[in-house]
Amino acid sequence: MRLSRRRFLFLVFAVALLHSSLRASATHLKPEVIGPLGQRLLEDAKAPEFFNWVRNIRRKIHEYPELGFQEYKTSEVIRAELDKLGVEYTWPVAETGVVATIGSGEQPFFALRADMDALPIQELVDWDHRSKIAGKMHACGHDSHVAMLLGAARLLQARRHELKGTVKLVFQPGEEGFAGAYHMLKHSALDNIKAAFALHVYPSYPVGVVASRPGPVLAGAGRFTATIKGTGGHAATPQLSKDPILAASMAVVALQQIVSRETDPLESRVVTIGYIIGGKADNVIPESVKIGGTYRSLSSQGLVDTKERIKQVIETQAGVHRCEAELDFMDETPLPYPVTENDEGLYEHAKTVAEIILGKPNMQVLPVTMGGEDFSFFTQKMPAVMFVIGSNNKTQTPPEHLHSPYFVIDEEALPIGAAFHAAVAISYLDRHGGGGVIERDEL
């Protein structure tokens, strides 16, 4: 279909107008208003009593890490602090989750989200507040996310009568592979949310820096296991067996070709095998072998295509070697996580807030990565945006990455995260709930 010149120019104008309106909605934030607001929030959060309080919460949670949908003690800590602050909440949501409410109780509803769960990792950091639970550790900073959101709760509760709408504080279980966000969003406590914001600690940036980008920022991510069944036998008579180790080995090699030989080099995908379990003796062919891995893509169709090819490759390789394969893609979880796509308008809003209260040099563009995040379920349902907050601890050079048994953070990031959460929420409600930015004598 060919477009007339007039229609083409109209479409170009419409797209430009939409883009400019998105930016205008962010620049509508007045530095003379947001600046004092942000500085007051930062001053309050960095006050010694507040900082010690939020740091102690983080350390308490860090000492007793809990895996997905098992965050009972963590949830208890959250509810106890909310009770002290006089903040109302709904619990349980999705087993262990908590949704707190601050503000007028009227629209717009703006959500701030923090995940709560830890990882099955043995902590190897030697410090006074290391994990007291063998084999479990907050190696992804979720303890810090909870502490920052409770810090935001305290800042917001002190200003609850000024809020031009309602803030929902979402303490979410089961981010690490359990799709906790999906299950929380099914609860009525999160009905009619207009927009959502989340922070994640990031050791690649120093304290005081935040970063994000509009559009796709994290990959969609799925997991799978495959059990390849054959016939066991003695290593001296392999002809009498159907060797699942051989079948599994060939499958692992063939899976790498999904990315290297079947995917456009300009399209980002990943297929990784994380483990192989099979056999206990060096002279015995086992009856079965189990492999497990992950697949990732920056497009929804890429996830669908990769999943289908993984199934075909493993089943075919098993058949070639006279074995059978049973695959589990954990669809009931549900997996895969979708691609995390930041809403452009909300990104511009939070970016402007960050530039005003932290300074333009401290607002950076985050590179797209192939990591996965179940906040993507929020980004699918409503305008939502995820930022990272610098947490680099100068004692580690280079810094340990997320999911490392040596992962640490600089706790000076906690009050910054609390204030940033609160500033984004207050300014959003001012714009959308009060007919524009509210002039304040003191914030």
Known binding residues for Mn(2+) are 140, 142, 176, 200, 403
Q: Which two tokens stand for residue 45?
A: 């959060």
- From its phi and psi, is residue 237 left (phi > 0), alpha (psi between -120 and 50) or beta? beta
CA–CA distance, 207 with 400 (Å, rounded to integer): 15
Looking only at Cα atoms, what is the longest distance across the chain? 87
Task: Report the distance separating Cα 22 and Cα 431, nearest Å.
Answer: 13
- 3-class DSSP assignment, residue 260: helix
| Cα–Cα nearest to 68, from 196, 189, 197, 183 | 183
Token representation of residue 104 = 């007028």
**What is the DSSP secondary-structure string of 25-67?**
HHHTS-HHHHHHHHHHHHHHHHSHHHHHHHHHHHHHHHHS---
**368 close to 267: Cβ distance less than 8 angstroms:** no
Q: Which amino acid is at 302?
A: G
3-state helix, strand, coil in the chain (%, to 5): 40, 25, 35
Report how far apart, in Å, the C-alpha atoms of 131 and of each of 59, 202, 255 are: 9, 20, 37
Structure tokens at 166: 């309602």
Per the structure block, which two tokens stand in for 398?
């280079």
- Among 420, 347, 422, 357, residue whose Cα is nearest residue 102: 422
**Structural element, H or E, at residue 311:** helix 300-320
Q: Is 216 left (phi over 0), alpha (psi -120 to 50) or beta?
A: beta
Give CA–CA dist 306/247, Å, rounded.
Answer: 20
165: left (phi over 0), alpha (psi -120 to 50) or beta: left
Binding site members: 140, 142, 176, 200, 403
- Length of the chain measured in residues: 443
